[in-house]
A and B are shown apart, each in its own frame.
Chain A
Amino acid sequence: MLSRLASPRTGGLLALAIVIALLPLALANKYFYDIAVLVGLNAIVCVGLNLLIGYAGQISLGHAGFFGLGAYGSAILASRYGWPPLAAMLTTTLAVAALAYLVGRPILRLKGHYLAMATLGMGIIVYMVITTEDRFTGGPDGIAVVPFSIGGFVLQGERIWYWVVGVLLLAAVWLALNLIESPTGRALRALHSSEVGAEVVGINAAEHKLLVFVISAVFASVAGSLAAHYSGFVTPGKVAFLHSIELVTMVVFGGMASIFGAVVGAAALTTLPQLLTVFEDYEMMVFGAVMMGTMIFLPRGVVPSMARLFQTRRNASSDDRAGSA
């Protein structure tokens, strides 16, 4: 019973649900709610991206592009052309999935980190189109976005958004956990240990990787759409290369191949700049140093490293689950 609860599948999800349910007790005002919502949105992107990095062994340096396409797709369709936000979001998501498929299909047939380069190029092109086509996108100054409404009910205010994003994050984590346990997840794990071996037993590496890539793009796009409606404003800053890097950093910081690591990474790196404001001019230096330090001393990321530490302390023998939490 206890061991079942301790398994990441049920125990972790439950723990996350409890954290989300209890967190508002510590949120004193709208500002803290705002940070929590941003953490949640970033966490959704990271859960998807973590599938790609941790399980498919591929890096994307252009996920901000998917996030941005989601945000701008929703913004333009809903605000400029008056589409219902839900329809705008679904259409945008489909388009982003198609784009990810088109980019991923030829690239993922190759071994090596070519996806990193392709997504980098794609992300920057998306950024340039968005800053240049100001008739549609408002250019570098961005555009205002209407609030999310569904059937006459308008989603507005940090508190409502907190619960919406909280539930969606749970759903995203649940989906990701299920994917890992699915045939695709098992195939990917087999690939991770030996790509050749996996192929010998008939696993089509490219197809599984492509599926995960498209899913991670969809997560990012949906989070982008929601972020645009939540903020009420979107600027190209969230599409920039630097944001792609931030997203990858969140995943690696929290722990590759750890769904909850992705959530922890998103939380840590979203709140860090808020804590670093006391350093003023030294903020950037400290941020860089924290990034480097974590990676040097906890190369597997915070969550798996901690889990391993905990595991070895509690029990030197048994349980090969360490690190998969």
Chain B
Amino acid sequence: MKSTQATTSIKRGFAAIAATLALFSASAVAQEPIKIGAFLSVTGGAAFLGDPEQKTLELYVAKVNAAGGVLGRKLQLVAYDSAGDAEKARTFTKRLIEQDKVDVIVGGSTTGETMAVVPLVEAAQIPFISLAGAVVIIEPVKKWVFKTPHTDRMACEKIFIDMQSRKFSKVAMISGPGGFDKSMHGQCLGVAKKYGIEVVADETYGGGDTDMTAQLTKIKNTAGVQAVLNAGFGQGPAIVTKNYRQIGITMPLYQSHGVASKEFIKLAGAAAEGVRLPAAALLVADALPASDPQRSVVVNYRNEYESHFKSEVSTFGGHAYDGLMIVVEAMKKAGGTDKAKVRDAIEATHGFMGTAGVFNMSATDHMGLDLSAFRMLEVKGGNWTLVK
């Protein structure tokens, strides 16, 4: 499996060289493909976002082409690895716009990368669908910028509503060092009051930390704490969860949507039992009732992804699916790739059923998801289950 992947990757490399050469020979091909540009953090600290995103885009561009393409034209994906580096993201975006002359950009795994390229896409007037989480991307609204993942503020709200329903009012937070963690931490502190929640302990950990028992011991010894919320992704939350059980804390533990994949349960092992987090329905595709309109979309996407890549699906790849499909729909509606028309069509997206929920975009909302898109999940018996 791995070796076939490697050879296709080398083939793709040669294809890219050929494509570059073709660029220099100025002969334009009739019926040019529609170019989808992407810059994703395929390596580096945010690879867990960029990797499934890139795989999803590759998979679905191929699928759309196999089904005849869009408006009779094939799609062509031009993807670069920005490695979580905002400077690289900027340069690659310039390359996409100036050199590759793409029709639309879907990408930006992290908020930092997204915000760094916003001025560029605004100036170049090219539709851009970001795959990053923070609310600053769409507030205030930027004419050419959209996003498909739920915002971190929504995650906080969903968690606090759940806490409220369990009659918790005093909680502790422990957050990681990344942009995602910090942004969510800030949003949660911002909306806590609204839900009658008081954050009585506020700890952080560093990148590559191997142990968080010190911070958790401090939280354990803080008077009145009723629940703990961990804003973070990757290795950190797995260690927090294990340490949490190790030092015998029995209060409920909430994680963020940043660890919304089966992998988290595998990493944290038995310690993950009872952990709650807000996530898209994708993770519990089979648990959805047959009547749920989202069921067919998420079940299809999950089956496609898992059978093709032999790895567990995550919600992050789902955001790339949503982004690509919204663009495809918009181009069909706009009847071409005229950037202004495509932009207007994206903004007019209504009732689109994606893996993240129903998208209803508008001139004032460039994401179009509401809180109903989030489901509260709990780990039970080594699997995600819906909290009723």
B336 at interface by CB-CB < 8 Å: no
**Contact: A142 with B95, CB < 8 Å?**
no
Residues of chain A with a CB closer than 8 A to B134's CB? 141
The stretch of B13-21, B68-76, B211-219, B338-346 in contact with A is: B13-21
Q: Which residues of the partner chain B approach A231 to less than 8 Å between Cβ atoms?
A: 87, 90, 116
B residues 294-343 touching A (CB-CB < 8 Å): none
A315 on the B face (CB < 8 A): no
Given the contacts A29-B99, A30-B98, A278-B13, A140 and B179 also touching, CB distance less than 8 Å: yes
Q: Is A235 an interface residue (CB 8 A)?
A: yes
- Please report the C-alpha to C-alpha distance between residue A231 and residue B115 in the assembled complex, in whole angstroms: 12
Complex CA gap A280/B119 in Å reads 27
Distance between Cα atoms of A42 and B90 in the complex (Å) = 16
| Alpha-carbon distance A3/B189, docked complex (angstroms) | 69
Q: State the CA gap A29–B134 with chains docked (Å).
A: 32
Q: Does A208 reach chain B (CB closer than 8 Å)? A: no
**Contact B177–A142 (Cβ < 8 Å):** no
Residue of A31, A144, A280 touching B81 (CB-CB under 8 A): A280
Do A139 and B179 touch (CB < 8 A)? yes
Assembled-state Cα–Cα distance A38/B177 (Å): 28
A144, B43: Cα distance in complex, Å: 25
The A-contacting residues of B in range 167-185, CB under 8 angstroms, are 177-179, 182-183
Residues of A within 8 A of B95 (CB): 31, 274
Q: B90, A233: Cβ atoms under 8 Å?
A: yes
Is A277 part of the contact surface with B, judged by Cβ < 8 Å? yes
Size of the A side of the interface (Cβ < 8 Å), in residues, is 32
B182 touches A142 (CB 8 A): no
Give the docked Cα–Cα distance between A30 and B179 (Å). Answer: 29
Q: CA separation between A238 and B88, bound complex, in Å?
A: 10
- List CB contacts (< 8 Å) of B92-113 with chain A: 94-95, 97-99, 110-112
A134 to B204, CA, bound (A): 14
Residues of A within 8 A of B186 (CB): 134
Chain A 19-38 residues near chain B, CB threshold 8 A: 28-32, 34-35, 38
Q: How far is the CA of A234 from the CA of B115 in the complex (A)?
A: 10
Please tell me if A237 contacts chain B, counting CB pairs below 8 Å. yes
Q: Inside 8 A of A279's CB, which chain B residues have their CB?
A: 13
The distance in angstroms between the C-alpha atoms of A28 and B99, with both chains bound, is 9
Query: Which residues on the B side are within 8 Å of A233 (C-beta)?
Result: 86, 90, 115-116, 119
User: Interface code A273-285, partner B: CB below 8 Å = 1, 0 otherwise?
Assistant: 1100111111110
A79 CB–B CB distance under 8 Å: no
* Residue of A with least CB distance to B207: A131
Once the chains are docked, how many angstroms separate the CA of A47 from the CA of B81? Answer: 29
The docked-state distance in angstroms from the alpha carbon of A221 to that of B322 is 42
Q: Mark A109-127, 1 if CB is under 8 A from B, else 0.
A: 0000000000000000000
Chain A nearest Cβ from B116, distance in angstroms: 4
Are A142 and B116 interface neighbours, CB within 8 A?
Answer: yes
B91 in contact with A34 (CB, 8 Å)? yes
Tell me how far the C-beta of A196 lies from the nearest C-beta in chain B, rounded to whole angstroms. Answer: 42
Q: Is B12 an interface residue (CB 8 A)?
A: yes
Q: Which residues of A contact B43 (CB under 8 A)?
A: 283-284
Judging by beta carbons under 8 Å apart, are B87 and A140 in contact? no
Query: Once the chains bind, are B9 and A280 in contact (CB under 8 Å)?
Result: yes
Closest approach, in angstroms, between the C-beta of A112 and any C-beta of chain B? 28
B203 at the interface (CB under 8 A from A): no
Determine the residue in chain A with the shortest Cβ distance to B111.
Answer: A141
A232 at interface by CB-CB < 8 Å: yes
The answer to whether B80 has its CB under 8 Å from any CB of chain A is yes
Judge whether B236 is part of the interface by a CB distance below 8 angstroms: no
Q: Indicate if B365 sits at the interface (CB-CB under 8 A).
A: no
Q: Given A231-B87, A232-B119, are A134 and B112 also a contact pair (CB < 8 Å)? A: no
For residue B179, which residues in chain A have a CB less than 8 angstroms away from its CB?
139-141
Which residues does chain B contribute within 8 Å of A32, judged by CB atoms? 98-99
Contact indicator B13/A142 (Cβ below 8 Å) = no
Residues 118-156 of B, flagged 1 when their CB comes within 8 A of A and 0 if not, give 010000000000000010100000000000000000000
Given A131-B177, A233-B116, A279-B13; A31-B88 close (CB under 8 Å): no
In Å, the complex CA distance between A142 and B115 comes to 8
Q: Is the Cβ of B86 less than 8 Å from the Cβ of A273?
A: no
Most chain B beta-carbon contacts within 10 A, residue among A29, A38, A235, A283: A235
Check B13 against A237 for contact (C-beta < 8 Å). Answer: no
B216: min CB distance to chain A, Å: 20
- A283, B183: Cβ atoms under 8 Å? no
What does the 1/0 interface line of B350-369 toward A look like (CB < 8 Å)?
Answer: 00000000000000000000
A237–B80 touching, CB < 8 Å: no
Are B115 and A31 in contact, with the CB atoms below 8 A? no
- Knowing that A141-B179, A142-B116 touch, tell me 19 more A-B residue pairs with CB under 8 angstroms: A30-B98, A34-B91, A140-B179, A140-B182, A141-B111, A141-B182, A142-B86, A234-B86, A235-B86, A237-B84, A238-B87, A278-B16, A280-B12, A280-B13, A280-B16, A280-B81, A281-B9, A281-B42, A282-B9
Q: List 10 A-B contacts (CB under 8 A).
A: A31-B97, A38-B87, A134-B182, A141-B110, A233-B86, A237-B86, A274-B91, A278-B20, A280-B9, A280-B13
